[in-house]
A and B are shown apart, each in its own frame.
Chain A
């Protein structure tokens, strides 16, 4: 009642303050304060539990950039990076064909989206079951007469990362798919009809109508997926714990922090990772802007 009678100018001030207060406090307490503290720890030799620690300057950063073992794990990210593009491609493909007339449309939509709804722990179990010797994959290949090509899917160091990136693709493809599907369905029917009268085939429609109208959403998904690839963690962590050459930078960070009690060093690694993610994102934004 009283609020209503205030001038819009005062109301404006009050509502900005009142509506921002809780979200901002939450954001800064749980998202930025930890980052800030992490930044501080990265200049210390803290072990993660002691009450005291010393500041060591840039020592931790020097260690990361001089010892090749910390950076070499980034090449594992390349597998997830590559999988990201396949994932986007598949999601776009399925979203496009399911935007047009297809029988059992809802069934296909549901099925393709469903893996995204599953629990990471369950997925870890499901894929251990899938990849183990004489597991699901081997059985299917034998049934198809491809028995000779079965592999130690997690044993062969040349294949393990492909297997794990595959599991990650399986898990996240549905999410991109459903977003793209939503984006495509918001394009007006009349646009297609006009194009069809002009004699445009499906490919042309995709290239000249669909792709331009959902460009933003594809870019956003790509950014998220790429920063996800750089910080890949849960699937390899649950399935292999990072062994046999499947170690990622984040797993390495967790190991450094909790197995070797070098929280200072691990914090420095996390800071480096954060900077890489931010730089990649900014680069992408810049490149995209230039294209425009």
Chain B
């Protein structure tokens, strides 16, 4: 029995070898053709991978046509992945993950050089683009944000006004009171969580800086504290708002059947009061609203003395380290960031290019005390540490899971209290932090 098993295995291994070599041959044949084509500078064929399944066939095709006016010899192909993070990380097991792609947020900073081509010296490139710190290591930049967003609360002014709230609430207490007033009025769902889709819940994490009132909290202070989720600390205060809203019945009645696309229309039509979502959504909701002026944006309510609206990069665009057409890929990135309207029109944020004009949505805050600032980068040697602790502890700061847990507890589906959840998260945090910083 054992012998026959081994025989079978050997035979099979031999065959596999043959198959692999065969496949390898045909592949290398293709490779040579490509190499010939790529002989003369920025020519050849590149594949650009995006998460925008909605506009890959329309807007991106137009971009390619525009791009080809300047670079007629580069053929650009697009692939859109519906579950971008999940699919791209599996594909990154191979060398074949397109030429230009968005750096998945789940790839830790330290591992970035393993997969991506450096785009230039950080100091040099900083003169040209903002928001590079997120994907910079050892003085090299590996990614440039496709847009720069700011984070806060998107709300329907008219719904708030109808409920008697005419000025944007500033503190968590005022915010909850305003939501209660909307509920009392009865025409709209005060705060929509988009629980079922999950990912909109991760938008809450991006307003942490506002709650902390300091640009240092996220990357500088956080990795050096054992009190990340205890009362009085930003995380505790931030998600307390979510919990209280759920507990008081201020969120959608059946969170399990929500739908993101529908929620945009409902917010636009005054059936929803507010959603915590990045600035990129402003344009999308305004486009659906009967009266564009009703849709407004405010900083997340905070007790901090300074109101900071955090600026953060959208996905970072980068070049596959194994790309056979790096020059052409670079040409596309340069064109895409500098000449296309992706950042402002499609991503609803600001252009990452230094000196680009401010978008309309930002102008509303001119003359107010609200500050727009980038988060400070981590201290040297601590790049990506928050992310590492987060993954190891399975907390999921940028995943929907614990936010869902908070909502489930708030509406009474779980027996645990808010403090139980926070204690749990903090314990996991402390344990993993100790493990990773020793």
Binding site for B on A (CB under 8 A): 21, 24-25, 28-29, 48-51, 128, 131-133, 135, 152, 154-157, 160, 240-241, 243-245, 255-256, 258-262
Does chain A have a CB within 8 A of B85?
A: yes
Does A48 contact B255, Cβ atoms closer than 8 Å?
A: no
Query: Closest residue to B255 on the A side, CB-wise?
Result: A155
- 23 of the cross-chain contacts (CB-CB < 8 Å) are A25-B12, A28-B9, A29-B12, A48-B89, A49-B89, A49-B93, A51-B114, A131-B257, A132-B254, A132-B257, A154-B257, A155-B256, A156-B413, A157-B413, A241-B196, A241-B198, A243-B195, A244-B404, A258-B106, A259-B399, A260-B391, A261-B106, A262-B394
Q: How far is the CB of B84 from chain A (nearest CB, A)?
A: 12
Beyond A49-B92, A157-B408, A261-B106, is A245–B256 a contact (Cβ under 8 Å)? no
Chain B residues near A133: list those with CB within 8 A: 253-254, 257
Question: How far, in whole Å, are A258 and B399 apart by their CA atoms in the complex?
Answer: 11
Does B89 contact A154, Cβ atoms closer than 8 Å?
A: no
Does B8 contact A24, Cβ atoms closer than 8 Å?
A: yes
Question: How far, in whole Å, are A264 and B111 apart by their CA atoms in the complex?
Answer: 17
Question: How far, in whole Å, are A248 and B195 apart by their CA atoms in the complex?
Answer: 18
Question: How far, in whole Å, are A245 and B412 apart by their CA atoms in the complex?
Answer: 13
Q: How far is the CB of B103 from chain A (nearest CB, A)?
A: 12
Within 8 A of A (CB), among B380-438: 391, 394, 396, 399-401, 404, 408, 411, 413-414
Q: How far is the CB of B435 from chain A (nearest CB, A)?
A: 12
Chain A residues near B404: list those with CB within 8 A: 243-244
Chain B residues near A160: list those with CB within 8 A: 256
Chain A residues near B16: list those with CB within 8 A: 25, 29
Question: How far, in whole Å, are A135 and B92 apart by their CA atoms in the complex?
Answer: 41
Query: Closest residue to B404 on the A side, CB-wise?
Result: A243
Chain B residues near A240: list those with CB within 8 A: 196, 256
Chain B residues near A244: list those with CB within 8 A: 256, 404, 408, 413
Q: How far is the CB of B8 from chain A (nearest CB, A)?
A: 7
Does B257 contact A261, Cβ atoms closer than 8 Å?
A: no
Contact code string B226-263 (vs A, CB < 8 Å = 1, else 0)? 00000000000000000000000000011111000000
Question: How far, in whole Å, are A157 and B254 apart by their CA atoms in the complex?
Answer: 12
Of the listed residues B8, B19, B256, B401, the one surrounded by the most CB atoms of chain A closer than 10 A to its CB is: B256
Query: Closest residue to A20 on the B side, CB-wise?
Result: B8
Chain A residues near B253: list those with CB within 8 A: 133, 152
Question: How far, in whole Å, are A245 and B9 apart by their CA atoms in the complex?
Answer: 43
Q: How far is the CB of B427 from chain A (nearest CB, A)?
A: 12
Chain B residues near A260: list those with CB within 8 A: 391, 394, 396, 399
Within 8 A of A (CB), among B1-37: 8-9, 12, 15-16, 19
4 smallest beta-carbon distances between A and B, as pairs: A154-B256, A132-B257, A157-B413, A28-B12
Q: How far is the CB of A195 from chain B (nearest CB, A)?
A: 46
* Choice from B86, B198, B255, B257 contacting A258 with Cβ under 8 Å: B86
Chain B residues near A259: list those with CB within 8 A: 106, 396, 399, 401
Q: How far is the CB of A13 from chain B (nearest CB, A)?
A: 14
Query: Closest residue to B92 on the A side, CB-wise?
Result: A49
Q: How far is the CB of B397 from chain A (nearest CB, A)?
A: 11
Chain A residues near B400: list those with CB within 8 A: 243
Chain A residues near B399: list those with CB within 8 A: 259-260
Does A261 contact B256, Cβ atoms closer than 8 Å?
A: no
Beyond A25-B15, A28-B12, A258-B86, is A157–B257 a contact (Cβ under 8 Å)? no
Does chain A have a CB within 8 A of B304?
A: no
Q: How far is the CB of B67 from chain A (nearest CB, A)?
A: 30
Contact code string B53-97 (vs A, CB < 8 Å = 1, else 0)? 000000000000000000000000000000001100110110000
Does chain A have a CB within 8 A of B107?
A: yes
Chain A residues near B92: list those with CB within 8 A: 49
Q: How far is the CB of B9 from chain A (nearest CB, A)?
A: 8
Chain B residues near A256: list those with CB within 8 A: 394
Q: How far is the CB of A254 from chain B (nearest CB, A)?
A: 8
Known contacts A29-B12, A49-B92, then 4 further A-B pairs from the complex at CB < 8 Å, ordered by chain A residue: A48-B93, A243-B408, A260-B391, A261-B106
Does A155 contact B396, Cβ atoms closer than 8 Å?
A: no
* Choice from B106, B254, B401 contacting A155 with Cβ under 8 Å: B254
Chain A residues near B255: list those with CB within 8 A: 155
Within 8 A of A (CB), among B83-130: 85-86, 89-90, 92-93, 106-107, 111, 114-115
Chain B residues near A156: list those with CB within 8 A: 413
Question: How far, in whole Å, are A259 and B391 apart by their CA atoms in the complex?
Answer: 8
Of the listed residues A131, A157, A256, the one surrounded by the most CB atoms of chain B closer than 10 A to its CB is: A157
Q: How far is the CB of A221 from chain B (nearest CB, A)?
A: 30
Beyond A49-B93, A258-B86, is A243–B114 a contact (Cβ under 8 Å)? no
Question: How far, in whole Å, are A152 and B253 apart by their CA atoms in the complex?
Answer: 9
Question: How far, in whole Å, are A274 and B196 apart by their CA atoms in the complex?
Answer: 30
Q: How far is the CB of B142 from chain A (nearest CB, A)?
A: 15
Chain B residues near A21: list those with CB within 8 A: 15
Chain B residues near A48: list those with CB within 8 A: 89-90, 93
Of the listed residues A21, A24, A241, the one surrounded by the most CB atoms of chain B closer than 10 A to its CB is: A241
Q: How far is the CB of A52 from chain B (nearest CB, A)?
A: 9
Chain B residues near A152: list those with CB within 8 A: 253-254, 256
Chain A residues near B9: list those with CB within 8 A: 28
Chain A residues near B256: list those with CB within 8 A: 152, 154-155, 160, 240, 243-244
Chain B residues near A243: list those with CB within 8 A: 195-196, 198, 256, 400-401, 404, 408
Question: How far, in whole Å, are A133 and B252 apart by their CA atoms in the complex?
Answer: 11
Beyond A24-B8, A28-B12, A29-B16, is A49–B107 a contact (Cβ under 8 Å)? yes
Question: How far, in whole Å, are A131 and B115 apart by their CA atoms in the complex?
Answer: 44
Query: Closest residue to A154 on the B side, CB-wise?
Result: B256
Query: Closest residue to B256 on the A side, CB-wise?
Result: A154
Question: How far, in whole Å, are A133 and B107 apart by their CA atoms in the complex?
Answer: 39
Question: How far, in whole Å, are A25 and B9 apart by their CA atoms in the complex?
Answer: 9
Within 8 A of A (CB), among B252-301: 253-257
Query: Closest residue to A158 on the B side, CB-wise?
Result: B413
Beyond A128-B257, A132-B257, A133-B253, is A50–B394 a contact (Cβ under 8 Å)? no
